Amino acid sequence: MESVPVPLEIVSGAGETSKGRSIMGGSEITQLAKEQIAQLSGLDPDRVSGLSRDEDGWHVTVDMVELKRIPASTDVMGTYEALVDDEGNLITYKRIRRYCRSETTAEL
């Protein structure tokens, strides 16, 4: 009987690939992205406002508090876009927007 090659990325029942890497879902990836951006920037994460995945990895958009003010509606916020690989490692991040918390914009 001839052996059939097995693809290297077969998922086992334990949620791991045959290479031993765990498979992470969107909620785990967003949590890791928030933690890593906070650690690198020294800012407090407020919320995740976007998540998508493509061939480059996970794209996570996180709103961070850049400057706390009183009242909180006048806090200065920054929107950061992060690229995270399938293992949850931060590849890149950058600020893409800065605004006051009470500011609204029309999204297309």
pLDDT, one tens digit per residue, over 52-63 is: 999 999 999 999
Considering its fold, how many domains does the chain have in total? 1
SS3 assignment for 20-88? CCECCCHHHHHHHHHHHHHHHHCCEEEEEEEEEEECCEEEEEEEEEEECCCCHHHCEEEEEEEEECCCC
**49 found inside a domain:** yes
pLDDT, one tens digit per residue, over 27-73 is: 999 999 999 999 999 999 999 999 999 999 999 999 999 999 999 99
> Residue 64 belongs to what domain range?
26-100
Q: Mean pLDDT, the chain, as a whole number?
A: 82
**34 found inside a domain:** yes
CATH of the domain at 72: 3.10.450
Q: Is the dihedral of CA 25, 30, 32, 36 positive or negative?
A: positive
**pTM summary value:** 0.74
- Separation CA 32–CA 35 (nearest Å): 5
The answer to whether 33 touches 89, Cβ cutoff 8 Å, is: no
